[in-house]
Amino acid sequence: METNDSALNPEEMARARKLLRSKPKVERMWPVVAAAGFAAFCALAFATAMIMAPPVITEHVVESAPK
């Protein structure tokens, strides 16, 4: 008597399992790199704007203090 009493063909079952097995998902790196580049660009743009912007207060605090 055979050890495999199943009516299913083992080779075909192995093939079906292989076809049903999900392929490993490859993660893409370009969205992460793009987000990091955008964040770095924004940080540099805001830093430049803070350096180049005129001061908010144009008169000395001592001059505007009540006497």
How distant, in Å, are the alpha carbons of 37, 45, 62 from that of 40? Answer: 5, 9, 39
pLDDT the model gives residue 31: 95
Question: Quick one: tokens of 46?
Answer: 């805001």
pLDDT the model gives residue 22: 83
Radius of gyration of the chain, Cα coordinates, nearest whole angstrom: 35
pLDDT digits (tens, 9 = 90+) for 15-64: 999 989 888 888 899 999 999 999 999 999 999 999 998 877 766 666 66
Question: Quick one: tokens of 7?
Answer: 């009516």
pLDDT the model gives residue 4: 61
